[in-house]
Chain A
Amino acid sequence: MGGRMVDFGGWDMPVQYPAGTIEEHLRTRTHAGLFDVSHMGEIDVKGPDAIAFVNRLTSNDVTKLVDGQAQYSALTTPQGTVIDDLLVYRLAADHLLLVVNASTTEKDWEWIKSHHVGESVELNNVSADYCQIALQGPDAQSILRKLTGIPLSDIKYYHFTHGSVDGVAGIVSRTGYTGEDGFEVYAPADRAEQLWNKILDAGQTGTPTGVMPCGLAARNTLRLEAGMALYGNDIDETTTLLEANLGWICKLDKGDFTGREALARQKEEGVKRKLAGFEVTERGIARDHQEVVVDGQRVGNVTSGSPAPFLKKNIGLAYVPVEYAGAGQEIQIDVRGRLVGAQIIKTPFYKRQK
Chain B
Amino acid sequence: MANVPEDLHYSKDHEWVRVDGGQAIIGITDYAQDSLGDVVYVELPKAEEEFAANEPFGSVESVKAVSEVFTPVAGVIVSTNETLADEPETVNSDPYGKGWMIRLKMSNPAEVDSLLTAAEYEDFTKAESE
Contact = CB atoms under 8 A, between A and B. Distances in A.
A283 B61 CA distance: 12
B41 A20 contact: no
Interface in B14-67: 37-38, 40-41, 59, 61-64, 66
Contacts of A221: 63
B85 interface: yes
A336 B62 CA distance: 15
A20 B37 contact: yes
Contacts of A15: 37, 64
Interface of A: 4, 15-16, 20-23, 217, 220-221, 283-285, 287, 306-307, 309, 336
Interface residues of B, number: 12
Contacts of B40: 22, 285, 307
Consensus secondary structure, chain A interface: mixed
15 contacts: A4-B37, A15-B37, A20-B92, A21-B63, A22-B63, A23-B38, A221-B63, A283-B41, A284-B41, A285-B66, A287-B66, A306-B63, A307-B40, A307-B41, A309-B63
Given A283-B85, A285-B61, A217 B66 contact: no
Nearest to B40: A307
A217 B85 contact: no
A285 B67 CA distance: 13
Nearest to B61: A285
Contacts of A283: 41, 85
Given A21-B64, A217-B63, A306-B63, 13 more contacts: A4-B37, A16-B37, A21-B38, A21-B62, A22-B40, A22-B63, A217-B64, A220-B64, A283-B41, A284-B41, A287-B66, A307-B40, A307-B63
A91 B85 CA distance: 52
B66 A22 contact: no
Contacts of A23: 38
B55 to A, nearest CB: 16
A114 B17 CA distance: 62
